[in-house]
Amino acid sequence: MMTADQAREEIRSPLDFLVRHHVDGGAPRMRAYERVGAQIGRTPAWVQRVLGRRPDASVGLHDALNIRAAYARLCDRIGAAADAVEAENQALRRDLDAALQRDQSVVALAQRSGAPETAAARGAGAPAASALVPTTARARRRASLPPRDVNDLPLWRGLTEE
């Protein structure tokens, strides 16, 4: 059997999490009490009394169920947002790996072909374009750089050297 004080303490943690979520989102504490109270069908003063451990705050079964349901919805939203961020991170990692692979293959191709010929050495006319080597100035500039690893990126160094 659970006493009223035990029930209040049991439900206080999820209720506090709901309020902190709104406060962390930028809402003032009283606005957070209003929002949480509206979610669970109670007044902001009731939410404040329960969180303040006031003895005159009673937590009924319907209150506990409403708080648990609101808490579960918030956890589901946070979990879905985390999954979306993780999926985006995976896509970025794949793009980064592909870019690094292309960068290394272009550099290896340029090193195998030797020093690039100049237009004067080849003679007059348009330079011969290879299907494997990009012809834009940006690609030529990128091909002349040494291959990079993920650890060489400034953001990665900033994260790991803290």
| Domain assignment present for 135 | no
| Domain assignment present for 43 | yes
| Domain assignment present for 155 | no
Which token pair is 102?
């292309």
Strands (E), 28-77: none
Q: Which structural domain, as residue segments, surrounds residue 54?
A: 4-85
Domain count, the chain: 1
Question: Residue 145: its pLDDT value, please?
Answer: 57
Label residue 41 by pLDDT band (50, 70, 90): very high
State CA 46 to chain mean position distance.
35
Res. 149: pLDDT tops 90:
no
Q: Report the alpha-carbon angle 53-66-35, nearest 5.
A: 70
Q: Give 103-121 pLDDT, tens digit per residue.
A: 777 666 667 766 455 444 4
| Domain assignment present for 74 | yes
**pTM attached to this predicted model:** 0.56
Question: Residue 70: its pLDDT value, please?
Answer: 93
| Domain assignment present for 112 | no
Question: Residue 121: its pLDDT value, please?
Answer: 47
Question: Residue 135: its pLDDT value, please?
Answer: 54
Label residue 96 by pLDDT band (50, 70, 90): confident
